[in-house]
Amino acid sequence: MTTPASYHPADPESVFTYGAPQLKFGHGAADEIGYDLSLTGARRVLVVTDPGVAATGNPQRVAEQMGQFGIEAHVFDGSHVEPTDESLQRAIDHARESGPWDAYVAVGGGSSIDTAKAINLLTTNPGELMDYINVPVGGGKDPVDPLKPLIAVPTTTGTGSESTTICVMDVLSLKVKTGISHARLRPTLAVIDPSLTLTQPAGVTAAAGMDILCHALESYTARPYTSYERKRPEQRVPYCGSNPIADMWSEKALSLLAESFRTAVHHGDDEDARGMMALAATFAGMGFGNAGVHIPHANAYPIAGRVKDFHPKDYPADEPMVPHGMSVALTAPEAFRFTFDASPERHRRAALLLAPGAQEPDDPAELLPSVLIALMRDIDIPDGVGAVGYTESDIPDLVDGTMKQQRLLATAPKPVTEDDIAGIYQRSLSLW
Ligand SMILES: NC(=O)c1ccc[n+]([C@@H]2O[C@H](COP(=O)([O-])OP(=O)(O)OC[C@H]3O[C@@H](n4cnc5c(N)ncnc54)[C@H](O)[C@@H]3O)[C@@H](O)[C@H]2O)c1
Ligand SMILES: [Zn+2]
């Protein structure tokens, strides 16, 4: 792989890693969860979901089917849409009080899956949530004991959380989004059944789909693994930079999105489009879960964490929020305009995978931003950070929030300064 000119490792890394859970994919896959769990010897299982997904009846159906295998299953529908430290604590308290549990099954989007990861960690390991949250917000402690089996069953087509090692949350008192990241958090089995995703409202399909797209684009353009200093074995982290295996998943995810994204948003009952979106989410998860993401995700954290009064269509109306995928998308066109010169050919190739046959503008740096903006307009994503309530005077605060995400910025294909991020926000106030 070519190392971008901006990085000069003295002793370049020559090793990359790849991790993924066991996976079952396809229509009807969710009907086999009772059998899959019976193989683990589980007798008492907690099914974790949120109220919106519970209203589809799917979590209850998954729970009932376990009865045939002599498994007692309970449904907890208290996951918060976009978990907070407080919502996770309530979920952990519930699981501790009603436990012990032999295994967990998460049925829902990233919010329910991440809630189940936190429950699993804190019912099997000593200490409290803050001990495990990434530094500098938390203690960054590693789990010492093995976790219980966790089956993740996504009902959105987005996060890829069913195959990743992270749990994302808002820490309310600090107004920051952060997470817990450790290989042991990865679900033991991902069960991806596209039929569970058909009821996703259009607004959720659009925002979650932008998450897939940015996972693929950011991991494809991430700093290559060879541009890091060589690590010792005990220093290896799940995110190792772009590499040939992650690239393959990201490229394929982009082609699937090209075929299915607009249709899935505008014709939610199109089973073929839903199936392709589910595959795309899985593929992008396998890519970014190993390569990492960078500037759009680093910006997404303060954009979501400092929300004022924005209420997106098709999400719970009780609290203001900028959904994860939407918050990632809003600065993506500008972020890729900024990173273009680190790897022009990758940016061009990604744009053409997403929009085969797109007209190539005179300035090649404009191709990916223009393809992204055309898509965002078609699926009704708001026009920049201005459209979700931010003004120029908020930029210093947003920049400050982004600069705290050093773990993500370290994966950017070139070094990023505060001024660079301020410029990206400034030009993202309105995108079209
Ligand atoms: N752990 C990871 O690897 C990872 C990666 C990216 C994002 N995330 C996190 O995941 C969360 C976002 O998850 P998400 O985008 O999957 O959405 P979500 O879980 O927040 O759900 C969004 C909304 O859609 C509803 N919903 C979900 N599936 C539905 C269905 N099939 N039918 C009807 N309604 C449905 C939910 O009730 C909710 O109101 C954020 O907290 C984000 O930070 C985690
Ligand atoms: Zn994401």
The residues with which 153 forms a beta bridge, in sequence order, are 107
Per-residue pLDDT reduced to its tens digit, 286-334: 999 899 999 999 999 999 999 999 999 999 999 999 999 999 999 999 9
Report the candidate in 247, 242, 249, 246 with the shortest Cα–Cα distance to residue 226: 242
Written as six digits, the tokens of 422 are 């301020």
Contact 238, 286 (CB under 8 A): no
Give the number of other Cβ atoms within 10 Å of residue 370's Cβ.
20
Report the candidate in 252, 245, 421, 414 with the shortest Cα–Cα distance to residue 339: 414
The residues with which 108 forms a beta bridge, in sequence order, are 154
pLDDT value at position 1?
Answer: 58
DSSP category for residue 107: E
DSSP code per residue over 262-298: HHHHH-TT-HHHHHHHHHHHHHHHHHHHHH---HHHH
Report percent pLDDT > 90 for the chain.
Answer: 92
Task: Share the mean pLDDT of the chain.
Answer: 96
Report the candidate in 343, 333, 342 with the shortest Cα–Cα distance to residue 366: 333
- As a whole number of angstroms, the distance between CA 171 and CA 180 comes to 12
Per-residue pLDDT reduced to its tens digit, 389-404: 999 999 999 999 999 8
pLDDT value at position 177?
Answer: 86
CB of 324 sitting under 6 A from ligand 1: yes
Distance 48 CA to ligand 1 centre (A): 13
Distance 11 CA to ligand 2 centre (A): 31
CB of 226 sitting under 6 A from ligand 1: no
The dihedral of CA 259, 265, 267, 268: what is its sign? positive
Per-residue pLDDT reduced to its tens digit, 327-381: 999 999 999 999 999 999 999 999 999 999 999 999 999 999 999 999 999 999 9
Whether residue 5 is predicted with pLDDT greater than 80 in this model: the reply is no
Interior angle at CA 174, CA 172 and CA 178, nearest 5: 80
pLDDT bucket at 222, cuts 50 / 70 / 90: very high
Report the candidate in 331, 358, 356, 361 with the shortest Cα–Cα distance to residue 431: 331
pLDDT bucket at 217, cuts 50 / 70 / 90: very high
**Bridging pattern class, strands 166-171 and 176-181:** antiparallel
Distance 356 CA to ligand 1 centre (A): 29
Looking at this protein, which amino acid is placed at residue 299? N
- As a whole number of angstroms, the distance between CA 300 and CA 82 comes to 13
Contacts of 17 (CB under 8 A, 6+ apart): 236, 238, 240, 290
Ligand nearest to the CA of 49: 1
Written as six digits, the tokens of 169 are 């949350």
pLDDT value at position 137?
Answer: 87
Give the number of other Cβ atoms within 10 Å of residue 415's Cβ.
13
Ligand 1: which of 155, 269, 328 to mutate, judged by most atoms within 8 Å of the beta carbon? 155
Looking at this protein, which amino acid is placed at residue 70? G
- As a whole number of angstroms, the distance between CA 422 and CA 289 comes to 27
Per-residue pLDDT reduced to its tens digit, 107-148: 999 999 999 999 999 999 999 999 999 888 899 999 999 999
